Amino acid sequence: MTREEQNLRQEIIQTCLAMNHQGINQGTSGNVSARHGKTMLITPSGIPYEALKPADIVAMPLDDDYGAYEGKLAPSSEWRFHLDIMAARPEVGAIVHTHSTYATAMAICGFEIPAVHYMIAAAGGPTIRVAPYATYGTKELSRNALQALEGRGACLLANHGVIATGPGLQRALWLAGEVETLARQYVLARSLGKPVVLPEEEIAAVVEKFKSYGPRAEAAPAAPKPAPRRKRASGSKPSVRKRGAPGKGSPGRGGKKS
């Protein structure tokens, strides 16, 4: 393992600890992934973040051998939408999935987050959509998430939680926090009266301004050397991934069971 990969694995662990410390996730309910060349590094299933070591982070190929993984631990049960988002969205370098309280409450009610504050532009558009419910870890959930993320950097998952993306871990974590803040502001505003929604043209203007706002992404790491023998994640079949791009868009400002 290169020093670069070692550092990225450690950054994934620090991101997990940070999202719990910030109160946008709890226990092992969320999950985190990062792109490393032609590989996705993702948190393992069911391991407390405080106990994680860099060697515990699971590597999964992005280009072929769908569902295969390397390491002694199985990947997060949500590996499928992490893998599919990275395959469809080459600009995405990291994904943070949380069960933050206010955003998840809105997702439970099936409410998207409207443009009640200009910071919604951080997610790439005038709304943060809600993906229809599907059982965690399924192909259906992955398809629903990709559709909700079209033209966006974040989405809600009905009766589930939040997906936030970014060019790197810092940006994805930042956006996950902003989604929760927006959801909390909207819920509180509704308790006071009828929130005023900003026009789409205003959000489009702010989206342009945000292209140079917030933490900058780090340079993408080099592709890793060929890795050892792979296992296969639960629910996957040996197959070659079909190329395609279900949705385009840019990340914005910056779990189910793992």
Say which of 78, 112, 178, 180 is annotated catalytic.
78
Dihedral angle, C-alpha 173, 8, 91, 230, nearest 10 °: -120
Q: Is 78 a catalytic residue?
A: yes
Q: Catalytic site residues?
A: 78
